[in-house]
């Protein structure tokens, strides 16, 4: 009788343990609720001028400014970076990245062209520029863009700029600039003064050689048959529409063929699909500042902001309307609310609809996170993704580097699954919360925050995913030891002679 009873007890303990093991090892998929992501998520949204003292009146993650060519270029192959460093460092001190543009002509400004080029024979045309609305016509100085020395210095400058700043975390985006009024690649109404296609191509070639990581944007989409601009649809540039919500949507009217989406369509599929790999930015047209977010913007030419965002897949836009001295005010509450709704739709908005966690096995935690993009554009930089275990008070107990990536995740695409195995070796037993974050390479920059209710719930910058109890392996070991001890005692009792 002794052997069958022992076998029965062992079988019972084994079945109990295996049943418990099977139930415990079942992966658990947990849904996570949506909540709107912050308006100041990095590298998207509205962008004030860095000099605007009212810039904090609307959420933002970037600042913009122009820099004159003469402030940076002092001679052939000689550069002074102080003006740019000041701009970048000042914005970075506020936790903001910078968008900037270097220009060679600007209505109302003098001394923009480096004097040494003029001394060496560069011709400069001065005239009253009438294309300055809503400001009055102003004198502008336009250089001869075909000048050999100017062309050489521009290429030297772009090469030096790339060597020093490509990949700099203080920089969000660069608009190519350098050519045309305001660096906008036109000299309207004097188009005859603008740079030739040959010069345009030289500038684009130089930028492509110099910048492999930092994204550069040019003003106008152009295909092979474009009469004014050198082809750029197949190049590694984004675009910026500086008459946004004014001359953005294609009207199919004669004379509106320079509107942004009309040019995109004329440039072909390479331009229309550009947003999938390169950013679209720009500036809200001054005549539409602020008013574009009203239920009734007024002004026949102001185009629907949301429709413009959906058509262009815009990620960021320079603006002054929401960063003015008379804003906010009691009458602007509705404008602010509508602006928030519209701006949130720009660029990316990442949501984690669910996480699947398997119980710890061999001191490894298996996690699968589903990520979707609810915005209109992808994220264009390969920022790192980190997982973490949070303890009491949101303290980060352990961080895990991940090979996961946000780049290339398009709106409407099937969820991207981040499949991770996290080692818990040496971790003190206890209750934790699993979290994920995408930190900003700028040391005090804003992290990418997810459109989830549990974003920042337990620790700033972290999306809380699920609780994790790290007791399981110890409990199993204790359970097995207890079973063996129990069986030994039972076996000992059975073998004792009856009295």
Closest among 204, 214, 209, 206 to 166, alpha carbons compared:
214
- Which pLDDT does position 475 carry in this prediction? 45
d(CA 300, CA 479) in angstroms, rounded, equals: 77
Asked whether residue 13 carries a pLDDT value surpassing 80, the answer given is no
CB 284 within 8 A of CB 292: yes
19-50 residue pLDDT tens: 344 334 567 899 999 999 999 999 999 999 99
Nearest to 346 by CA among 382, 383, 317: 317
300: pLDDT confidence band, cut at 50, 70 and 90?
Answer: confident
Please list, in sequence order, all residues whose beta carbon lies within 8 angstroms of the beta carbon of residue 141, skipping any fewer than 6 positions away.
105, 110, 112, 113, 124, 125, 126
Strands (E), 145-186: 171-175
Distance CA 493, CA 5 (A): 11
With a pLDDT cut of 90, the percent of the chain lying above it is 80
* Paired residues of 357 in beta bridges: 28, 367
The encoded tokens of residue 280 equal 């679209």
| pLDDT tens-digit readout, 87-98 | 999 999 999 999
Partners of 28 in the beta sheet?
357
Cα separation, 302 vs 134, in Å, equals 14
Residue 333: predicted pLDDT: 86
Evaluated on CA atoms 318, 323, 326, 331, the torsion sign reads positive
pLDDT higher for 290 or 205?
205
Residue 406 pLDDT grade (very low, low, confident, very high; cuts 50, 70, 90): very high
**pLDDT mean across residues, the chain:** 90
DSSP state of 392: G
| Structure confidence at residue 488 (pLDDT) | 54
Q: Could you tell me which residue, 494 or 293, shows the higher pLDDT? A: 293
CB-CB contact of 110 with 143 (8 Å): no
What is the distance between the alpha carbons of residues 346 and 358, in angstroms, rounded to a whole number? Answer: 35
pLDDT above 60: residue 491: no
User: What fold does the segment set 45-344 form as a domain?
Assistant: TIM Barrel (3.20.20)
Angle at 167 between CA 162 and CA 170, to 5 degrees: 105
Between CA 36 and CA 341 the distance in angstroms is 9
Sheet of strand 463-470, all strands in order from the earlier edge strand to the far edge: 396-402, 385-390, 430-437, 463-470
Which 8-state DSSP code applies to residue 243? Answer: E
CB 239 within 8 A of CB 229: no
> Considering only CA atoms, which of 320, 409, 335 is closest in space to residue 372?
409
Unique residue bearing structure tokens 């910048």: 211
Q: What pLDDT is recorded for position 190?
A: 93
What is the architecture of the domain spanning 20-31+349-474?
Answer: Sandwich (2.60)
The secondary structure of residue 181, as a DSSP letter, is B
**% pLDDT > 70, the chain:** 88
Residue 482 pLDDT greater than 80, yes or no: no
pLDDT of residue 498: 41
Q: What are 131-189's pLDDT values in tens digits?
A: 888 888 899 999 999 999 999 999 999 999 999 999 999 999 999 999 999 999 999 99
The mean per-residue pLDDT over the stretch 474-487 comes to 45
Task: Measure the CA–CA gap between 477 and 461, rounded to whole angstroms.
Answer: 37
Residue 484 has pLDDT above 80, yes or no: no
Residues of the chain within CATH 3.20.20.80 domain(s) are 45-344
pLDDT band at 470 (very low <50, low <70, confident <90, very high): confident
Rounded Cα–Cα distance for residues 389 and 428 (Å): 12
Strand pairing partners for 385?
402
Distance from the first to the final alpha carbon of the chain: 17
**How far is Cα 418 from Cα 409, in angstroms, rounded to an integer?**
12
Q: Which residues pair with 85 in a beta bridge?
A: none
Is the pLDDT higher at 299 or at 455?
Answer: 455
Integer-rounded Cα radius of gyration of the chain:
30
User: Tokens 């070796």 label which residue?
Assistant: 425
CA distances from 43 to 39, 143, 151, 387, 405 (A): 11, 33, 32, 22, 16
What's the whole-model pTM score?
0.88
DSSP one-letter string for 412-431: TPPPEEEEEEEE-TTPPSEE
CATH 2.60.40 boundaries in the chain: 20-31+349-474
The per-residue pLDDT for range 55-70, each reduced to its tens digit, is 999 999 999 999 999 9
CA distance linking residue 144 with residue 256, whole number of Å? 28
Phi, psi of 70 (to 5 degrees): -65, -20
> Which pLDDT belongs to residue 328?
65
Element (H, E) at 321: none
* Chain segment 328-371, per-residue pLDDT in tens: 665 588 899 999 999 999 999 999 999 999 888 888 999 999 99
Ordered DSSP codes for 122-159: --EEEEEE---TTSPPEEEEEE-TT-HHHHHHHHHHHH
């Amino acid at each position: 009788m002794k052997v069958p009873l022992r076998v029965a007890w062992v079988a019972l303990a084994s079945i109990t343990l295996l049943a418990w093991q099977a139930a415990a090892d079942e992966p658990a998929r947990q849904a996570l609720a949506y909540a709107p992501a912050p308006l100041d998520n990095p590298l998207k949204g509205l962008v004030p001028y860095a000099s605007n003292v009212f810039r904090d009146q609307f959420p933002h993650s970037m600042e913009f400014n122009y820099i004159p060519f003469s402030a940076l270029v002092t001679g052939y192959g000689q550069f002074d970076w102080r003006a740019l460093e000041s701009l970048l460092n000042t914005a970075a001190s506020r936790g903001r990245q910078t968008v900037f543009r270097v220009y060679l002509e600007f209505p109302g400004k003098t001394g923009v062209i480096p004097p040494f080029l003029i001394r060496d024979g560069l011709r400069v045309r001065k005239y009253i520029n009438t294309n300055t609305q809503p400001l009055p016509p102003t004198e502008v100085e336009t250089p001869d863009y075909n000048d050999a020395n100017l062309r050489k210095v521009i290429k030297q400058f772009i090469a030096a700029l790339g060597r020093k700043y490509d990949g700099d975390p203080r920089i969000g985006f660069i608009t190519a600039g350098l050519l045309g009024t305001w660096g906008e690649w036109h000299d309207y109404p004097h188009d005859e003064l603008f740079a030739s296609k040959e010069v345009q191509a030289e500038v684009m070639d130089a930028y492509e050689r110099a910048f492999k990581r930092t994204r550069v944007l040019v003003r106008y989409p152009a295909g092979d048959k474009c009469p004014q601009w050198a082809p750029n649809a197949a190049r590694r540039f984004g675009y910026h529409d500086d008459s946004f919500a004014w001359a953005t949507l294609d009207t199919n009217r004669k004379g509106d063929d320079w509107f942004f989406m009309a040019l995109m369509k004329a440039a072909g599929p390479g331009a229309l699909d550009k947003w999938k790999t390169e950013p679209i930015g720009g500036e809200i047209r001054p005549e539409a500042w602020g008013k574009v977010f009203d239920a009734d913007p007024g002004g026949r030419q102001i185009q629907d902001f949301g429709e413009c965002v959906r058509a262009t897949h815009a990620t960021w836009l320079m603006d002054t309307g929401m960063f003015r001295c008379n804003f906010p005010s009691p009458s602007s509450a509705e404008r602010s609310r509508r602006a928030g709704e519209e701006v949130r739709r720009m660029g990316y908005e990442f949501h984690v609809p669910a996480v699947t966690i398997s119980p710890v096995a061999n001191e490894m935690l298996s996690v699968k996170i589903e990520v979707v993009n609810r915005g209109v554009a992808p994220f264009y930089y390969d920022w790192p993704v980190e997982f973490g275990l949070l303890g009491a008070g949101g303290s980060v107990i352990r961080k895990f580097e991940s090979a996961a990536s946000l780049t290339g995740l398009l709106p409407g695409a099937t969820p991207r699954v981040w499949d991770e195995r996290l080692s818990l070796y040496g971790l003190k037993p206890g209750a934790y919360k699993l979290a994920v974050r995408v930190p900003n390479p700028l040391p005090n920059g804003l992290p990418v925050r997810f459109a989830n209710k549990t974003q920042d719930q337990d620790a700033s910058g972290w999306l809380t995913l699920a609780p994790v109890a790290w007791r399981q392996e110890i409990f199993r070991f204790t359970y097995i030891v207890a079973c063996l001890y129990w069986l030994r005692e039972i076996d000992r009792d059975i073998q004792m002679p009856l009295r």
